Structure 1
C-alpha cells in the first residue's frame, strides 16, 4: 500500500519573522518567503510548516492570535499568502499552517467580549474562576513563562487562566459553541487549499476536572493530556479532516510514548504525527528549570530516540526534529559548533534524515547555523527569555554574567536570529536593521558561501535528501539499533522489503573503529573527504549499503 504523502516527504519549518524581508522594514514577510521558493525546491523538500502569520499583537511573536483569519500586516496581505500557497504548490511543495488553539490573544474579539460581563455569551469560551477564599488565585498553577497562571480581571472580579503569557488566555474546549466556531474556522482554511495543520500544545486543551476548586494543584503539568483530549481530537477529526488527505501534526509536550502511539495509530488516528519533547529535555538538570543545563550525552539521546523509533512501529509515525523555533540550534546543542562545525552539522542532518518518520529541517540548519552569544540581555527579544532573566537575576540573585551564560545556551532567540543568506549587511536578510540582530558569524556561514562550496552542509543536505527519497529502506524501512552500549558510535539499520541500509555515526572528536562486518559494506554517502574503510573519523557520518 502506498504511504500517505506526508510519510514520503521531508519537511522544512519557516519562522516568517526571521526568514526573508522583502520590503526593508526589518521583519521577514510572506513575499520574502515567496522570493526564496526556488531555493526551497532545490533542497528537495515536500512540505513547508509555516509558523503563525495570523493577526497578532506579538506578545509571543505570533503565538498570541487576535484574528485567526487575518494576515498580520507585518507579514503582508491575504493576496501575499495566496501567492505563497500557489508558488509552493506549483513546485510540488505542500503547505501546513500553524494552529494555536489552546489559547488566543487577549485582544481577540472573543476574549474582549468574554471579559465584558459574567453574562457574556462568550464568557465560557475562556476559563474564568472566582478568587480563592483568601482572595488570591484559584490555585497555585504557574505559567510556562513564569509567574502565576491566573490573571485578575477587575471589571468582573474573577481570574482567567493563562498557561503562557497573561496576554494568552486559555480557550475553554468545554464550550460546545467555541468548538463549533473553531472547527468552522479550520474548514475555511482547508477550503483555501492548505494541506494540514501543525497544532501548538494541542495536548493542553482538556483541563483536569475540578480546576479551580482549591490550591495546591501543582503546575502546568497538571493540564497535560487531559481527560477529554481524545474526545476533542476525535471530534476535530470528524468535523474538519474526514474524507481529506490533510496532515495533522500535534505538538505534545509531556506526552508519554504509550499515549503518543495510541493517538497516532494509523488504524484509527486522532493525529497523524506528534512532536514529543523527551530528547530536547535531556540537557535539563533533573528537578530544575530549563535554564539549569546539564551536558547532552549521545548515549542518552540514542536511548531516547531509539525507544521512540521502536515504540511507534509499526502503526505510529514519528515527527523527527532536532531544532525548531523554540529550541537552541542543533549544531550547538548536539554537536560541536567550533572545530567540527561542518562535520557535526552534517552528522546531525544524517541522523535526522535517516530515522523512521517525517524529518523536519528548521530554517538555517541546512547551512549549520549556530547559537548566538549576544553581549547583553538588551539584544534578546523573546518573552520567555526576558522573564527568565528577571527570575535569574532578581529571584535567584545571579550576577549578570552568570545569568547571561545560562540564557545563551537555551534562549529561543538562538533559533530566531535572521536567516543568513549572504555576507551582505544584515546577513542579506533585510536592507534595514532586523527586528533582532543577526548572529555575527553570518559573514562566514551563509547560503551564498554554502552554494559556492561543494563540501558545504547545504550541498550535503541536498545529497542526503535525494538519497533518502530514492532509497526505500531510508524512507519507510524499519529501524533496528545495532549497538546500545558504545560510548561514541550510534549504529543502526533501516530495512524494508526492497533493501537494507546501515547508518554509522561517530559522535566524538576521535577516530573510532568500525565493526568489521560494517566495514565490508559499500558506502552510499559520507560527510568525510577521505573515509577509511575500517574507521570513522571525528564526527563522521556514513550510510552503508546495499540500498
Structure 2
C-alpha cells in the first residue's frame, strides 16, 4: 500500500507546469567585456547551451540599475538596466534570442524594498510633509529614543535606522541601504504594477518575486515574540518569531493584484520567494488560486538528507496543496550552499534525479549541473554584505562563476573574476563533461530529456511506495503515472547496497541510472540498488 495519490494535470497544461526553470545569477554566468562580472550579452551567448541542456525557462536574477549594496537586490530604477550588465537594447536582444530558441524568460522582481538611492526614497526622506513620505515605512522613536520596536534585520542588527534630519526611523528588513516600501499605499502598488508592465511589454514571460511574504507588515507594528528555540549559532534574525514583520494575511491581496497585472499579457507565471513552513507556504496560492502560481518550495533544502525524511516531506507537501495548486521544488539558489556542498558529490546525483522526477515544476541553479560544490572564498575576496555583518552566513560560495572550459578563468572572463573559481575548474567544466557519459552534466541532460519524452514525469500524478522497514530509512521509492504509462523511481540515499522488491510480478526496464552501464537492463522480482544509486524504471519492452 503506497502513499495517497496526487492527481495528474488536465489536458490544458500550461508551459510553466510541464517545463523546467534554470536560474542564472548574471554576475557569475558569462562576462563579455573583461571586467570580471557577467552581463546580459554573456547570457545571450550561452543560450545555445541552455537549449542543449534541455531546460525550458531561464530566470535571471536582478540586473536593474543599482549601487550594488546587495548586488542588485537594492534597486535604484526598476525600469533600467545597470551599465554593469549592459543596456536595455542588450536585454531586448537577449529576450529575442531566447524566444527564438523557445526559451521563456523570467525576471527577478524586488518590490519589498528599493535602494536608498532610488529617487522615491530621496523624496520620501526630504521632509515629513513630502508627498512620497508614505511610500516608505517611517515611525517615531520609542519613548527612550531608540527604534520603534524590536524587529531585526535579516542581514544582522536592528531593522530601523534613524534619519536625523526628520527625527524618524525608517524600516529595512535587510540592509539600511534597502528601505522597505509601504505596500499599504495604493500609489506604491500602482507604481510597481507599472514597472511590471514595462517588462511585460518587452516580452518577459513571468517574474520571480523577491521575499514576497515580507510585503505587508503589521499595521500596529507590534513587537515580535521571542523564539524559545533560538540557538546561538543561528543568524540573529532567528532570535524572534517574525509574526508581525512578515507573513501577514493582507499580503494575499497584494499578490492577487500582481497576478492580475500579469494576466493582462496572457499566460505569464508569478513565482513567490517564500521561506515558510508548509502550512503557511501553501496559503500563498491564495483563495481560489488568486495568489502566486508557484510559491517557491524550499523544503528540500531545509530537510535532513535521509530517504525517510524526504519521503515524509514529499507526502506532507502533496497532501497540503490546495485543489488545483501546482507543486514545485527547489534544491539550490543564490542564497543557499550548493547541493554538492550539502550532500556530497555522490548524493548530488541522487539530488538531480529526485528534483527532476518529483511532481511539479523544478528549478535548477546554474552550476549544479556540473556538480559545483563549495568554493572557498578568502576573507580578502569576500563580497556578500550579510557575511560581513554576520561572519559564517556569507553567500559568496554559491555565487562563484560558471565554469565553461579548461582555459584561463574557465572561460568565464578574460579579466579577474569577481569571485574565485573552484580548484578543479580545469576538469569541472562544461566542455570537459558534456561528452562524458558518466558525468553529472550528462545525467542532468538525460533526466531533462526523459521529462520531455514521458508525460508521466512532466505532468503526471505521484504516489509514494511503501518499502520494508529495513529499506525505508535508506531508499525513497515512488511512482509517476499518466494515462497508460507508469514509471517507478528508486533512490538510495545511503552508502549501502539494498535490494528493492518489485512485488507486482511484472517486468521492468531501467530507463536511467545514476550509475553508468545499466540503462536497458530488464529486471523482475527485485532490483539491487548500489550505494548512492538512483534508477528510473519503465515497463519492460519500451
- Give me the TM-score of the superposition, normalised by structure 1: 0.88
Q: 1:350, 1:313 → 2: CA distance?
A: 26
Alignment partner, residue 223 of structure 1: 245
Q: Which deviates more from structure 2 when the two are superposed, residues 168-177 or residues 519-528? A: 519-528
Give the alignment partner of residue 371 of structure 2, picking from 363, 368, 372.
Answer: 368
Q: 2:380, 2:303 → 1: CA distance?
A: 29
Report the number of matched residues: 507
Alignment partner, residue 62 of structure 2: 52
Find the residue that maps to 1:350 and give its secondary structure. Answer: helix
Task: Find out whether 1:249 has 2:271 as its counterpart.
Answer: yes
Alignment partner, residue 259 of structure 2: 237
Find the residue that maps to 1:493 and give its secondary structure. Answer: strand
Contact 1:523 1:544 in 2 (8 A): yes
Task: Find out whether 1:377 has 2:373 as its counterpart.
Answer: no
Distance 1:529 1:227, change over 3 A: closer
Alignment partner, residue 158 of structure 2: 148
Q: 1:8, 1:277 → 2: CA distance?
A: 19
Q: 1:470, 1:240 → 2: CA distance?
A: 30
Alignment partner, residue 538 of structure 2: 545
Write out aligned runs for 1:489-500 (5 A).
489-500=475-486
Deviation at 1:366, TM superposition (A): 1.1
Give the alignment partner of residue 121 of structure 1, picking from 122, 131, 146.
Answer: 131
Deviation at 1:423, TM superposition (A): 2.1
Deviation at 1:215, TM superposition (A): 8.1
Deviation at 1:43, TM superposition (A): 1.1
Alignment partner, residue 13 of structure 2: 3
Write out aligned runs for 1:206-217 (5 A).
206-211=216-221
Q: 1:444, 1:455 → 2: CA distance?
A: 13
Find the residue that maps to 1:226 and give its secondary structure. Answer: coil
Alignment partner, residue 388 of structure 1: 390
Alignment partner, residue 309 of structure 1: 318
Contact 1:200 1:250 in 2 (8 A): yes
Contact 2:147 2:169 in 1 (8 A): yes
Contact 2:437 2:516 in 1 (8 A): no
Write out aligned runs for 1:465-504 (5 A).
465-483=448-466, 486-504=472-490
Q: 2:152, 2:287 → 1: CA distance?
A: 35
Find the residue that maps to 1:244 and give its secondary structure. Answer: coil
Find the residue that maps to 1:521 and give its secondary structure. Answer: strand
Q: 2:123, 2:303 → 1: CA distance?
A: 42
Q: 2:443, 2:225 → 1: CA distance?
A: 52
Contact 2:151 2:245 in 1 (8 A): no
Deviation at 1:188, TM superposition (A): 1.5
Deviation at 1:377, TM superposition (A): 2.2
Task: Find out whether 1:274 has 2:295 as its counterpart.
Answer: yes
Find the residue that maps to 1:442 and give its secondary structure. Answer: coil
Deviation at 1:171, TM superposition (A): 0.6
Deviation at 1:314, TM superposition (A): 4.8
Q: 2:267, 2:186 → 1: CA distance?
A: 26
Alignment partner, residue 460 of structure 1: 443
Task: Summarize deviations over 1:476-513 as a string: whole Å, max 9, x none.
Answer: 11211113751110111112223111110111122111
Distance 1:166 1:537, change over 3 A: same
CA RMSD of aligned residues (A): 2.0
Deviation at 1:85, TM superposition (A): 0.4
Contact 2:371 2:440 in 1 (8 A): yes
Task: Find out whether 1:513 has 2:499 as its counterpart.
Answer: yes
Give the alignment partner of residue 308 of structure 2, picking from 299, 320, 332.
Answer: 299
Contact 1:208 1:227 in 2 (8 A): no
Contact 2:141 2:148 in 1 (8 A): yes
Deviation at 1:259, TM superposition (A): 4.3
Deviation at 1:46, TM superposition (A): 1.0
Find the residue that maps to 2:48 and give its secondary structure. Answer: helix
Q: 1:216, 1:262 → 2: CA distance?
A: 22
Deviation at 1:453, TM superposition (A): 1.3
Higher helix share: 1
Alignment partner, residue 336 of structure 1: 344
Contact 1:13 1:48 in 2 (8 A): yes
Give the alignment partner of residue 67 of structure 1, picking from 77, 83, 94.
Answer: 77
Contact 1:327 1:414 in 2 (8 A): no
Contact 2:306 2:493 in 1 (8 A): no
Q: 1:460, 1:44 → 2: CA distance?
A: 12
Q: 1:216, 1:139 → 2: CA distance?
A: 11
Deviation at 1:300, TM superposition (A): 2.3
Q: 2:176, 2:480 → 1: CA distance?
A: 46
The ranges of structure 1 where at least 4 consecutive aligned residues each deviate by more than 6 angstroms after the TM superposition are: 214-217
Deviation at 1:310, TM superposition (A): 3.3
Give the alignment partner of residue 327 of structure 1, picking from 326, 333, 336.
Answer: 336
Q: 2:531, 2:382 → 1: CA distance?
A: 34
